[in-house]
Structure 1
């Protein structure tokens, strides 16, 4: 595999305006794409990420105004983690106090400093200080200075009854390998991929299953360079693990297949191509409401029911 690791993470949020304000104003991410849920076009689908919407930086949301809160449990993404420069952790701890963001004291995990916090819907997030990340490019157009800005995903952690069945998919199909263990956490890395290259599994038998709602991660997408690589991963899933995916779905900015992995987390395999500049210029990403061609005839009706963002 050429490209490995996380492509994007998709979660469920409450009010759309609050969601946009938190991720752009508080966390300083770029709103890369403003579209709708293709299966529920009365609902926005927001994509936040770096300047280009690079794979490994994209956190997306389905915001439903009156969604009930989710419940953390087995078979769910426990935490979505971003990379920041190692020296920026103090800045972020201060910023969270200033902005009233619920957060915990920094801790060490696998030798790295981790600052856990929650968004307004209770989604579990964290920042990890990464040595040398300050030399990496970052979105300079937001409310956070470049030296402190987020540098894409560090990792996701999964809360599972047992690690081994899911680990078999990560290692055989998705390009990861076990790298370390610490307590109940098992770390898997996708080669030398820096951005989005880590999945942690926390084994926690005997807990209630997760309940989807506001603050829950809906699915995790993993990278495939193109259709051919995605097709090879689909073949491996069935031949080696007897897991069938959905048919390929065109999401305009990538092409996707979905499957439920053995620990019950919904996984997606998404192509890196064509990218978020497919329907608007890179310098204007996220400015206009973009619709797929099959929904364009209904634009007027869709715009009438979508909540105001300003």
Structure 2
């Protein structure tokens, strides 16, 4: 079974407490998982999402206290875009002024109103106002009226030297179709996928390559319903595009393979299963530190070095 669209976006940030404050308080995303970087257990891995912690809403961070700023460039995700109700753009523009969030004047992009802004590390984000999404449930944990809450991803844009090779992967492996062009943007969409169903390719030949750091997107992940669906995507990658991903890696809440697409952006294919409620009740997501089994015996040492989140 193939389920198209984004599963999650993972980025690099500076101090964990500042990151948590911005995404949980300013944007009012739900903290759905508090765990550690599997490759660096002295560092948090924070997951933010919607009320149901659904694939297509999950933005995750590796926060390093002293991370140097990244440099946006070719071969990287340029902007991560969330969905909000069409009438909420004014509310968010006012909130950004109140909270001192750097933002731009709303513009039209493919006929939709887009409000671009940046987080404290300079990560490029945006809100897009869409009709009808106000009927969807939203996280309402105080501070933001539910009617203005974020409703998962709309899209990501990728900055590339050329679009065609990446577009071929999106179409053949992930079920996206080109639906329009505007200026230097080429838009791909997954039919029938409302949340996380759009990828924009921005052609920018001649730009410097990206340099990863605070404010950079580390990778983007696409959904696979289960292991069989993931295996089929891998088969297409190998047979049709000559790209061999990594072996499958168990991330506790999903199982993943990784590869560099032709434009050098790191892609992941992540299973929807088993989900974020596998190790804590859905109503209590994000309240306690969850460790992968291999680190549980070292919990005291890990907790001693992790920054205080307040």
Q: Take 1:248 and 1:2, find their aligned partners in 2: how far apart are those partners?
A: 18
Match of 1:161 in 2: 161
Runs of 4 or more above 4 Å deviation = none
> Is the CA contact 1:29–1:142 (under 8 Å) kept in the aligned structure 2?
no
What is the CA RMSD across the aligned residues, in angstroms? 0.6
- The residue correspondences of 1:46-61 to structure 2 (distance < 5 A) are 46-61=46-61
Q: Take 2:111 and 2:11, find their aligned partners in 1: how far apart are those partners?
A: 28
Q: Deviations over 1:1-25 (max 9, x none)?
A: 5411000000000000000000010
Match of 1:259 in 2: 259
Q: Take 2:302 and 2:143, find their aligned partners in 1: how far apart are those partners?
A: 30
Q: Take 1:251 and 1:143, find their aligned partners in 2: how far apart are those partners?
A: 32
Q: Deviations over 1:144-190 (max 9, x none)?
A: 11100000000000000000000010000011010110011000001
- The residue correspondences of 1:164-179 to structure 2 (distance < 5 A) are 164-179=164-179
Match of 2:65 in 1: 65
Match of 1:269 in 2: 269
Q: Take 1:303 and 1:186, find their aligned partners in 2: how far apart are those partners?
A: 45
> Structure 1 residue 142: deviation in Å?
4.2
> Is the CA contact 1:176–1:191 (under 8 Å) kept in the aligned structure 2?
yes
Q: Take 1:143 and 1:37, find their aligned partners in 2: how far apart are those partners?
A: 29
> Structure 1 residue 141: deviation in Å?
1.9
> Is the CA contact 1:30–1:142 (under 8 Å) kept in the aligned structure 2?
no
> Structure 1 residue 143: deviation in Å?
2.4
What TM-score, normalized by structure 1, do the two folds share?
Answer: 0.99
SS of alignment partner, residue 300 of structure 1: helix
Q: Take 1:212 and 1:142, find their aligned partners in 2: how far apart are those partners?
A: 34
Q: Take 2:178 and 2:117, find their aligned partners in 1: how far apart are those partners?
A: 26
Q: Take 2:242 and 2:59, find their aligned partners in 1: how far apart are those partners?
A: 30
SS of alignment partner, residue 300 of structure 2: helix
> Structure 1 residue 34: deviation in Å?
0.1
- The residue correspondences of 1:199-278 to structure 2 (distance < 5 A) are 199-278=199-278
Match of 1:291 in 2: 291
Gap runs ≥5 in structure 2: none
What TM-score, normalized by structure 2, do the two folds share?
Answer: 0.99
> Structure 1 residue 120: deviation in Å?
0.2
Match of 2:140 in 1: 140
> Structure 1 residue 196: deviation in Å?
0.2
> Is the CA contact 1:83–1:154 (under 8 Å) kept in the aligned structure 2?
yes
> Is the CA contact 1:70–1:214 (under 8 Å) kept in the aligned structure 2?
yes
Q: Take 2:250 and 2:283, find their aligned partners in 1: how far apart are those partners?
A: 24
Q: Take 2:46 and 2:103, find their aligned partners in 1: how far apart are those partners?
A: 24
User: How has the CA–CA distance of structure 1 residues 182 and 242 changed in structure 2, closer, same or farther, with 3 Å as cutoff?
Assistant: same
Q: Take 2:192 and 2:281, find their aligned partners in 1: how far apart are those partners?
A: 31
SS of alignment partner, residue 269 of structure 2: strand
Match of 1:23 in 2: 23
> Is the CA contact 1:52–1:276 (under 8 Å) kept in the aligned structure 2?
no
Match of 1:45 in 2: 45
